[in-house]
Amino acid sequence: MTHDVDSNGDEKPKAKRASGFQLSLKGRALRLLSQREHSRLELERKLKSFEETPGELAQALDFLEAKDFINAQRVVDSVVNRRSAKLGASRVRQELQAKGLPVEAIAEAVQEMRSTELARAHEVWRKKFGAPPEDLAGRIKQIRFLVSRGFAPDVVSRVVKGAEDF
C-alpha cells in the first residue's frame, strides 16, 4: 500500500485512485447500495476509512437516509428473502442483529419466519440428506447440520425423527 506524507511528516494511507478521480463518500455509498441493500451501520464500517473530516460520513449517510436510499426495512426484507430458504430463524436473527437493524423489525421478521420453520428445515434436510439416518452417527450428523443452520431444536428433532414420513 502506498502512503502520503502530510505537512507534519506523518504517513497516512493513500486511497487507490483510478486516473486521479476519487469518489465522494456519497458516491461510494451509492455504489455499495447498488449492489445490495446495506444498513447504516454496514455503510459506516465500510466507509469509515474514506472519511477525511470528522462528521463527513455521518452527514453523507443522513442525506442518503433522508432520500430513502438507506432503509432498514428493505435490508430486513432483503436478508430474509435471500437467507430464509437455507437458514433457520435464529441464524437469520443473528445476521440481522450484526447489521445493526432495529430490534422491532428483527423480531417481526423472525416471528414470520417461525411459521414456516418446519417446512424450510425439511427442505434443507431433503436437499442435503434425502434419506433417514441409518444409525446413531448419521442421526447426530443430521441434527448437528440442521442446528448449525439455525433451526430450532424442536423443529430439528421433528424433521429427523419424522424423516421417513415425508
The strand ranges marked E within the chain are 3-5, 11-13
Whether residue 108 is contained in a domain is answered as yes
Query: Are both 124 and 149 inside the same structural domain?
Result: yes
The Cα 138–Cα 82 span in angstroms is: 29
Query: Are both 45 and 30 inside the same structural domain?
Result: yes
Say how many domains are in the chain.
3
Whether residue 30 is contained in a domain is answered as yes
Cell of 55: 462528521
Burial class (CB in 10 A: 0-12, 13-18, 19+), 32: middle
Which domain-ending residue is among 48, 70, 92? 70
Q: What is the pLDDT of residue 6?
A: 53
Query: Are both 160 and 123 inside the same structural domain?
Result: yes
Q: What is the pLDDT of residue 153?
A: 95
Distances (CA, A) of 58 to 27, 54, 83, 101, 158: 14, 8, 29, 17, 48
Count of residues in the chain: 166
Query: Are both 88 and 58 inside the same structural domain?
Result: no
Task: Give the residue numbers spanning the domain of 83.
Answer: 72-114
Which residues, listed in sequence order, are joined to residue 4 by a DSSP beta bridge?
A: 12
- Name residues whose C-beta falls within 8 Å of residue 11's C-beta, 6 or more positions apart in sequence: 3, 4, 5
Q: What is the pLDDT of residue 17?
A: 47
Burial class (CB in 10 A: 0-12, 13-18, 19+), 75: buried
Whether residue 10 is contained in a domain is answered as no
Which domain-ending residue is among 7, 40, 70? 70
Q: What is the pLDDT of residue 166?
A: 43
The Cα 11–Cα 8 span in angstroms is: 9
Q: CB 80: neighbour CB atoms within 10 A?
A: 20
Query: Are both 109 and 81 inside the same structural domain?
Result: yes
Which domain-ending residue is among 37, 70, 103? 70
Whether residue 48 is contained in a domain is answered as yes
Whether residue 159 is contained in a domain is answered as yes
Q: What is the pLDDT of residue 161?
A: 87
Q: CB 87: neighbour CB atoms within 10 A?
A: 23
Mean pLDDT by 10 residues, the chain (166 residues): 50 51 90 96 96 93 96 97 96 97 96 95 95 92 96 95 61
